[in-house]
Amino acid sequence: MSRTYLALPDAFDDAECDRIIALADAVPGEPGPLYTGAGRRVDRALRDVCSSLVDRETAPWLFARLDALFGAGAEAFGLAVGPLSEPVQVLRYDEGGHFQVWHSDAGGDTGERRLISMSVELSAASAYEGGALEVIPDLAGRPRTLGRGGVHLFPSRALHRVVPVTRGTRWALVAWTGMTQG
């Protein structure tokens, strides 16, 4: 795998970004920090974000689009992947929100099944400050690089984080895909 990052600007238009945010708002219950597999709350000093899960049955149009975008990533990275098999997360980072810890999306808690990670920018750049997604080595220490509706794709083993939002609210969608089934 020679390539370590792929940016797809304008993958979603403003209306689609609004529609994705509305999906998160419609999820029953209050969004909150993610829980570990053992049901323990994630330490807000490490990760402070509201998360809503959206599944394929709720938004088939969205999953079809994400599957196609993952196809572009698979081609760029030289990987064979299948369609999304997990719900996607729609994240709301309010002022102070972050995922400060450098982390990978592949590993023990996911059974090594994730190969490609995706982050979709759902907020306009003017809606917040800070909150940049940093991916080693390509986006570490750099400001936001994509506009609203842009997609970042990177290998799930890549270390990444989201720095604190200093003003406003940042919305993002994150998803992962991996090996084909069968």
DSSP 108: G
Over its C-alpha atoms, the chain yields an Rg (Å, rounded) of 15
Residue 23 is predicted with a pLDDT of: 94
* CATH code for position 152: 2.60.120.620
Q: Are 25 and 101 in contact (CB under 8 A)?
A: no
135, 107 in Cβ contact below 8 A? Answer: no
168: which strand partners? Answer: 128
Q: Indicate whether 42 belongs to any domain.
A: no
Kindly provide the residue ranges of all beta strands, DSSP E only, lying in 96-178, ordered along the sequence: 98-103, 114-121, 128-130, 133-135, 151-155, 160-162, 165-168, 170-178
Distance CA 98, CA 100 (A): 6
Q: Is residue 118 part of a domain?
A: yes
**Position 38 in a domain:** no
**In this structure, is residue 134 part of a structural domain?**
yes
Q: Mind listing the pLDDT tens digit for each residue in 1-24?
A: 457 889 999 999 999 999 999 999
Considering its fold, how many domains does the chain have in total? 1
3-state secondary structure at position 62: helix
In a domain, 39, yes or no: no
> Tell me, what DSSP letter sits at residue 35?
B
Give tens-digit pLDDT for 102-131: 889 986 655 568 999 999 999 999 999 999
List the domain range (segments joined by +) for residue 59: 6-31+47-178
Q: How many CA atoms lie within 13 A of 99 on its CB side?
A: 24
Query: What is the mean pLDDT of each successive set of 10 residues along the chain, which is 182 residues long?
Result: 81 98 76 50 77 93 97 93 93 92 77 86 96 88 87 94 96 90 50
